[in-house]
Chain A
Amino acid sequence: MNGSVISGKNIYKIFKLGEERVAALNGVSMEVKRGEFVAIVGTSGSGKSTLLNMLAGLDKPTKGEIIIAGQHIEKMSEGELVKFRRDHVGFIFQAYDLLPQLNAIENVALPLSFKGMNKSRRTKEAMHALKQVGLEKYMRHRPTEMSGGQQQRVGIARALVVRPEIIFADEPTGNLDTKTTISVLHLLQEVVHEAGNTLVMVTHDNNLASYADRRLHILDGEVVYED
């Protein structure tokens, strides 16, 4: 508890592939404090995404405890997890994953519509979030009319708009060039430090991880060290 929004205790995740058992997570324990920007770093196949999915309530651990915003999520049903994510979690995807038929405002407002917010209010909130990520000029553009960097900013705005307790991002710059990557990372830093959000980001790149306040280095499903 004491100030930590995320607390994972002894998390195991074992995948069964026929007879073979793959241990993606081998007893991970970790904490994330409120307002912290934490990076999960490791080589490919080390178990970063698996850990993030557990923390975000997208998958359940084989063993262990995950307490997020004071709630044990490892015991929740799928329906409860959906509701939990809707109320507490923002998500940024590697491939942005905006809905192509919706414009920037509508994309950002989407999670608010899941909450049942009315249209005029959620449009206002979405416009505010888009301003936060510097896209006031692109509010009515569709995803196909924007660059990758711009699309990811829309993605970030979509995560911010619900004012979540934690934002999760799996390789958010994975599809971007170096220059754009840096500007997106600056934006993420800003979002955490100025707006007071908590961010957990997965990356395989040590340089990118250096933008975070703290790094969890993971190898073969175990946190080997933090810095």
Chain B
Amino acid sequence: MRFSDKVGMAWSSLWKRKLRSLLTILGVMIGVASIVTMMALGEGMNRQSMEMIEEYGGLRTVEVREGNNQTAKNASSGADNAASDPTKLKLTDNTIKTIQEMGHVEQVYPTLEFQAVMQSGGYRLGIYGGQAIPLEVLRDMKWEFADGGWPNKGDELKFVFGNMVIQDFEDSRGNAVYWNTGRVADVDLMKSKMFTVFDTEAYYASQNSGDGGRTAEAGDDLEGADGEAPGAATATPAPKKYMIPTAGVLAGSLEDYKEYSWSVYCDLEALEKMYKKVFKGKAIPGQPVKKNGKPYPELFYSKLSVIVDDVENVEAIQKEIGDMGYQASSNSEWIAQAKEQSRSTQALLGGIGAVSLIVAAIGIANTMMMSIYERTKEIGVMKVLGCGLFDIQQLFLIEAGMIGFGGGVTGLSLSVLVCLIINKITGAMTAVIPFWMYFAAVVFAIIVSMLAGFAPSKRAMSLSALEAIRNN
């Protein structure tokens, strides 16, 4: 018997019992729709947690900070050296080179965290974790600007502000403006004159010893640059202020949180140059000093960001760097945890959906059995007329497969619709149907249906033709 003839016959017998076929298909449809929707919810959760991890420092980044004696303990080679050479586990260009030579490392860049105090009008901004990063790396971030842009290579020091930094300004009495009044400080980051103090230790010391409320007036020193503020010569002399221009402000509203929102950025090279001018061999706040209180000739980085070629290698790289005595951290544990969690949620949700498909499969088996009892005579006649046994079995399997196909396609459509509605209501990609699932859902429905139809088809095949034609 030709395959097309079998399909035709299967179709005509499904058509003959339209309502029953439709109800059976409805069962499969609901089963498929619930599995797909549940899986889509799981997938949505998975993607959201991955996105969140991406936001919090990336999936492929290992963050390296300097090691100390404790971290060096488990590093056999690093331990003895650390004691003799205190700079051994600090972060230098040599560290960058060493890490760069490891396999699977795509990029290593340093960050120097800096402190500063900025004044503009009657307002003051304390910068604690300012980020000085090589300009090329900053440019590669592809962040959008609300105003201005990155400085150019070789420029003097310029700052780039995150979109929420403006909320951190304090008034002359040291009260946070935005948090108390709900309005941001009257400072135009791009245009207002701002005076920056890098020697924060000296600055705060002078604040405490002098009249605490006193802030530098904007008119104090219009030439900016190296001008020393007059009248600051109380107990501790106030440090020098510098006028640092703003290169740009990063895009985003006051509520729009991005990874850069709360930070101030600048080019590492420009800051290093500035430091040389500002401190002239004095100790820089945050940098270590020799036993005699003198600073080291080089700057030590606050952290290194190591970009690994693949998420899978993050953990290994992290361990390798950790074993060298540095403090290495990454999101790998979080990622593994998130993945594990979404896997188990997906399994749970899929399982709940699967229950309804099992019910549908039982429905198919039941319908087919009934149909075979009804058609005992018909099957018998076909056998007497020479229809092959396997042709008969295939007729029923095709019928079951068609039910599965119908249920699979309609169920898939239904779940697409449901997912659209869910996403509309939640306003996020809460339910995501992965591309492969479109294909898999239909195939799966067909397979499950055919499995359900297998026992009935076997029965139809083994029906006695004689028995069938006798009962008249």
Q: Which stretch, B81-89, B375-383, B416-424, touches the partner chain A?
A: B375-383
Q: Give the contacts of A83-120 with B (CB-CB under 8 A).
A: 83, 85-87, 89, 91, 93-95, 97, 99-102, 110-111, 113-116, 118-119
Q: Is the CB of B472 within 8 A of A94?
A: yes
Report B-chain residues with C-beta under 8 Å of the C-beta of A224.
none
Q: Is the CB of B389 within 8 A of A82?
A: yes
In the bound assembly, the distance between CA atoms of A78 and B390 in angstroms comes to 12
Report B-chain residues with C-beta under 8 Å of the C-beta of A153.
none
In the bound assembly, the distance between CA atoms of A183 and B382 in angstroms comes to 27
Q: Is B2 an interface residue (CB 8 A)?
A: yes
Q: Give the contacts of B383-424 with A (CB-CB under 8 A).
A: 383-389, 391
Q: Is the CB of A113 within 8 A of B386?
A: no
Which of A53, A79, A118 meets B389, CB within 8 Å? A79
Chain B residue nearest to A58 (CB atoms) is: B466
In the bound assembly, the distance between CA atoms of A96 and B222 in angstroms comes to 113
Contact count band on B:
20 to 34
Chain B residue nearest to A117 (CB atoms) is: B2
Q: Known A82-B388, A101-B12; judge A59-B466 contact (CB<8 A).
A: yes
Nearest Cβ in chain A — how far from B98, in angstroms? 74
Q: Known A79-B389, A114-B391; judge A85-B384 contact (CB<8 A).
A: yes
Report A-chain residues with C-beta under 8 Å of the C-beta of B12.
101-102
Q: Is the CB of B1 within 8 A of A97?
A: no
Q: Is the CB of B381 within 8 A of A113?
A: no
Which of A91, A94, A118 meets B2, CB within 8 Å? A118
Which of B2, B16, B377 meets A113, CB within 8 Å? B2
Q: Is B455 an interface residue (CB 8 A)?
A: no
Q: Is the CB of B16 within 8 A of A101?
A: yes
Which of A85, A89, A97, A162 meets B469, CB within 8 Å? A97
Q: Known A93-B469, A95-B472; judge A115-B381 contact (CB<8 A).
A: no
Nearest Cβ in chain B — how far from A64, in angstroms? 18
Report B-chain residues with C-beta under 8 Å of the C-beta of A162.
386
Q: Is A158 an interface residue (CB 8 A)?
A: yes
In the bound assembly, the distance between CA atoms of A95 and B384 in angstroms comes to 14
Q: Is the CB of B16 within 8 A of A85?
A: no
Q: Is B465 an interface residue (CB 8 A)?
A: yes
Chain A residue nearest to B381 (CB atoms) is: A97
Q: Known A94-B472, A113-B1; judge A87-B386 contact (CB<8 A).
A: yes
Q: Is B140 an interface residue (CB 8 A)?
A: no
Chain B residue nearest to A110 (CB atoms) is: B385
Chain A residue nearest to B461 (CB atoms) is: A78
In the bound assembly, the distance between CA atoms of A82 and B382 in angstroms comes to 10
Report B-chain residues with C-beta under 8 Å of the C-beta of A83.
386, 388
Residue among A86, A99, A158 with max Cβ neighbours from chain B (10 Å): A99
Chain B residue nearest to A85 (CB atoms) is: B386
Q: Is B13 an interface residue (CB 8 A)?
A: yes
Q: Is the CB of B385 within 8 A of A85?
A: yes
Report B-chain residues with C-beta under 8 Å of the C-beta of A53.
466
In the bound assembly, the distance between CA atoms of A79 and B388 in angstroms comes to 7
Q: Give the contacts of A140-175 with B (CB-CB under 8 A).
A: 158, 162
In the bound assembly, the distance between CA atoms of A115 and B387 in angstroms comes to 8
Q: Is B298 an interface residue (CB 8 A)?
A: no
Nearest Cβ in chain B — how far from A14, in angstroms? 16
In the bound assembly, the distance between CA atoms of A56 and B465 in angstroms comes to 12
Q: Is the CB of B385 within 8 A of A158?
A: yes
In the bound assembly, the distance between CA atoms of A158 and B283 in angstroms comes to 108
Q: Is B5 an interface residue (CB 8 A)?
A: yes
Residue among B2, B378, B386 with max Cβ neighbours from chain A (10 Å): B386
Q: Is the CB of B465 within 8 A of A58?
A: yes
Q: Is the CB of A58 within 8 A of B384?
A: yes
Q: Known A94-B472, A97-B377; judge A111-B385 contact (CB<8 A).
A: yes
Chain B residue nearest to A175 (CB atoms) is: B472
Q: Is the CB of B384 within 8 A of A110?
A: no
Q: Is the CB of A101 within 8 A of B13?
A: yes
Chain A residue nearest to B387 (CB atoms) is: A114
Q: Is the CB of A91 within 8 A of B384?
A: yes
Report A-chain residues with C-beta under 8 Å of the C-beta of B388.
79, 82-83, 86, 114
Q: Is the CB of A82 within 8 A of B2?
A: no
In the bound assembly, the distance between CA atoms of A67 and B123 in angstroms comes to 115
Q: Known A93-B469, A101-B12; judge A115-B386 contact (CB<8 A).
A: yes
Report B-chain residues with C-beta under 8 Å of the C-beta of A58.
384, 465-466, 469
Nearest Cβ in chain A — how far from B429, in angstroms? 48
Nearest Cβ in chain A — how far from B362, in angstroms? 27
In the bound assembly, the distance between CA atoms of A53 and B384 in angstroms comes to 10
Report A-chain residues with C-beta under 8 Å of the C-beta of B472.
93-95
Report A-chain residues with C-beta under 8 Å of the C-beta of B383.
82
Report A-chain residues with C-beta under 8 Å of the C-beta of B381.
93, 97, 99
Report B-chain residues with C-beta under 8 Å of the C-beta of A119.
5
In the bound assembly, the distance between CA atoms of A205 and B378 in angstroms comes to 28
Q: Is the CB of A111 within 8 A of B378?
A: no
In the bound assembly, the distance between CA atoms of A119 and B15 in angstroms comes to 20
Q: Is the CB of B385 within 8 A of A114?
A: yes
Chain B residue nearest to A119 (CB atoms) is: B5
Q: Known A93-B469, A97-B377, A102-B12; judge A116-B385 contact (CB<8 A).
A: no
In the bound assembly, the distance between CA atoms of A86 and B1 in angstroms comes to 11
In the bound assembly, the distance between CA atoms of A56 and B2 in angstroms comes to 25
Report B-chain residues with C-beta under 8 Å of the C-beta of A102.
12
Report B-chain residues with C-beta under 8 Å of the C-beta of A97.
377-378, 381, 469
In the bound assembly, the distance between CA atoms of A146 and B389 in angstroms comes to 30
In the bound assembly, the distance between CA atoms of A35 and B286 in angstroms comes to 115
Supplied contacts A79-B388, A82-B383, A113-B1, 9 more A-B pairs, CB within 8 Å: A58-B469, A93-B381, A95-B472, A97-B378, A101-B12, A101-B16, A102-B12, A111-B386, A116-B2
Q: Hey, which bits of chain B sit against chain A, CB under 8 A?
A: 1-2, 5, 12-13, 15-16, 377-378, 381-389, 391, 465-466, 469, 472
Q: Hey, which bits of chain A sit against chain B, CB under 8 A?
A: 53, 56, 58-59, 78-79, 82-83, 85-87, 89, 91, 93-95, 97, 99-102, 110-111, 113-116, 118-119, 158, 162
| A-B pairs with beta carbons under 8 Å apart, 7 shown | A82-B387, A82-B388, A89-B386, A97-B378, A100-B16, A114-B386, A115-B386
The 3 A-B pairs with the shortest beta carbon distances in the complex, nearest first, are: A86-B386, A95-B472, A97-B381
